[in-house]
Amino acid sequence: MRNKIFMPFRYKVLLKEIKSFNDKKILDVGCGDYSPYYTQTIFPKADYWGIDINGKFSTFFKEKHKFLKVNVENEPLPFKESTFDIVVVSHVLEHLRSVHVVIKECYRILKPGGLIYTEAPSPISIILPSMDGTLNFYDDMSHIRPFTKTSLKKLLSSHNFKVIKCRTRRDWLWIIFGIPSVIFKNITRNMPLYGGYFWDLFGCVVFVIGKK
């Protein structure tokens, strides 16, 4: 039950499409630090790769060669065509000016029938209060634009993806059980609360899954 509550939302919805990550080759675009740690711990049989503009995140990979430092706006993805079963682009597109370049490259490196998961803040985030960990869109000064469900769907469709799911992110397990848990834990330990805890509650994030 705990794993189901705290599992990142993207994996919950992807597992409904593919049933298992075992032996699946996954690319995490803009992987950061938490995602590599969590993915490799919970899904040890997945063939997990990551790219990020920040090279320091290589330290979070058990197999160092599976992390590559890449600026996705200025460089092609350093993989052959039809390499990956799944590509995750979560909270990356809102930082980019050249979003079409990235999505085109994701299509190229996905295997036929492969899935792309994209997630980004919606315009609702513009009117939310400021909070550590980004609740208001402009809490992160590197943000350029939010996305609606329609704009994110059109972006994928314009690069030949078949959109199979397009929704506002609402993880009810997290809302009902996860949020009270982290509030209690953080308050009792005198730790700050972060904006990301409340994205599902406010419905300020949208996601689209596309199929090649």
Could you report the per-residue pLDDT of 23-48, keeping only the tens digit for each? Answer: 999 999 999 888 988 899 889 999 99
Distance (Å, whole) CA 147 – CA 93: 9
Q: How many domains does the chain have?
A: 1
Q: Which range of residues forms the domain containing residue 16?
A: 2-211
Supply the mean pLDDT for the chain: 94
Asked whether residue 57 carries a pLDDT value surpassing 90, the answer given is no
Contact status, residue 175 vs residue 183, Cβ threshold 8 Å: no
CA distance 94 to 111: 25
CA distance linking residue 143 with residue 107, whole number of Å: 24
Q: What is the pLDDT of residues 86-144, one digit of tens each?
A: 999 999 999 999 999 999 999 999 999 999 999 999 999 999 999 999 999 999 999 99
Measured in degrees and rounded to the nearest 5, phi and psi for residue 152 equal: -70, -40
Q: What is the DSSP string of 1-70?
A: -HHHHHS-HHHHHHHHHHS--TT-EEEEET-TTHHHHHHHHH-TTSEEEEEES-GGGGGG-SSGGGEEE-
Residue 126 has what pLDDT? 98
What CATH number does residue 79 fall under? 3.40.50.150
- Cα-based distances in Å from 145 to 21, 44, 45, 122: 31, 35, 36, 9
pTM: 0.95
Phi-psi region of 110 (alpha: psi -120 to 50; beta: other; left: phi over 0): beta
User: By the 8 A CB rule, do 46 and 23 touch?
Assistant: yes
Query: What amino acid is encoded at 2 in this protein?
Result: R
Beta bridge partners of 119: 90, 207
